[in-house]
A and B are shown apart, each in its own frame.
Chain A
Amino acid sequence: MIASSFAAALRAHGLHCRVEVRERLALLTPDDANATQVVVRLREVILDEGRRHGFTHVALDVPAMRDGADLPRD
């Protein structure tokens, strides 16, 4: 389970993110807070790459909002 290798694989698919390793859980923090559309589009690819890199679980970090400014409201 190598975070840098997993992050590089995701980058090759178009998702730029930091990968934090917690045992066999990979926690992804996209560089762009609005990258969730990319995550949705690539979800199966991300899971496949995660498995290939030895992770049983891959999760999207949901950071705290800065005054709610970086996420749209509905």
Chain B
Amino acid sequence: MLMASDATHTPSAAAAERERSLIEWFRDRGSVLVGFSGGVDSVYLAAVAVDALGSDRVLAVLGRSPSVADGQWETAVRVAEEFGIPLHVAETRELEDPNYAANPANRCYFCKAVLWTTLAPIARARGLAAIVDGTNADDAADYRPGARAASEHDVESPLALLGFRKDDIRALSRARGLPTWSQPSSPCLSSRLPYGTAVTSERLRQVDAAEQSLRALGIEGDLRVRYHGDLARVELSRAVIEAWLEPSRLARVRAAVAAAGFARVCVDLRGFRSGSLNVLEGVVHE
């Protein structure tokens, strides 16, 4: 789901310089496998890699699992095709790992461990010199246990290394005509389940269906359906939340989410917060 934005996104001179450095960085490596999600960062990274190295020395690999929202998957495939990014789809089976399915606070570590364990042999088999991901400089401030798995598999993060911030990546993506430039962040669906709540395909499908139904109502911007068992807690972008608290719209929100199988529906009055469940569970503090 691509979203319009009112923000002005023109690359700064510093951002343009970072992009030149990134192109050089890729040329030093010679060939790369890009961990590809179809999100803002990895699409930009793969597009620059293709520019720098040519499409025969780049492979974007998309991990496919129930934790990837259908819309995200469709965007990834469409953008890769449109921009000439060679794409390989690898099934990842993180839900079969009981460490992951138990949904501990470091769940992302187990997910990324499965991902990079799956992708590393592909890079070796194809003779690709480096494996890269789309971690950016802003990500360092977040709680991201998955970063340890990346370092264990020698995955490099050139966007973070070269100081790219999210705004840089959006602006540079826009300048390249990448449709993902204004796409809201879209972490995996498991992030909607509180830690300790087992991750199952059924629950992920339920969350995905609820979010898709809300998008179909015309809700724009950041949007999350947080899973609390029988209760769905809807987080909307702060720019639109008050409009959606209007009674007839609330009724439509409820109907859309209830149709996905939630008995109760509530709307968070603060609105969308990245890492909202981390705050709720005291993993991070505001």
Contacts and interface: CB of A to CB of B under 8 A. Distances in A.
B268 A58 contact: yes
Interface in B239-286: 242, 245-251, 253-254, 258, 264-270, 276, 279-282, 286
B250 A62 contact: yes
Contacts, number: 75
Size bin of chain A's contact surface = 20 to 34
Contacts of B247: 34, 36, 71-72
Interface in A1-55: 22-25, 27-28, 34, 36, 39-40, 43, 46-47, 50
Nearest to B282: A24
A56 B285 CA distance: 9
A17 to B, nearest CB: 12
A24 B248 CA distance: 29
Interface residues of B, number: 27
Given A40-B242, A62-B253, 5 more contacts: A23-B280, A60-B267, A62-B265, A71-B248, A74-B249
Contacts of B57: none
8 contacts: A24-B280, A27-B231, A47-B269, A50-B269, A57-B233, A57-B270, A60-B245, A71-B251
B223 to A, nearest CB: 15
Nearest to B228: A22
A69 to B, nearest CB: 11
B246 A46 contact: no
Contacts of B251: 62, 65, 68, 71, 73
A59 B267 contact: yes
A72 B249 CA distance: 9
A27 B226 CA distance: 14
Nearest to A35: B247
A57 B245 contact: no
A58 B269 contact: yes
A33 B49 CA distance: 55
Contacts of B276: 57
B279 A56 contact: yes
B245 A64 contact: no
A64 B266 contact: no
Contact of B233 (A36, A43, A59): A59
B264 A61 contact: yes
A46 B269 contact: yes
Contacts of A64: 254, 258
Interface string B98-141: 00000000000000000000000000000000000000000000
B248 A36 contact: no
Given A25-B280, A71-B248, A71-B251, A61 B266 contact: yes
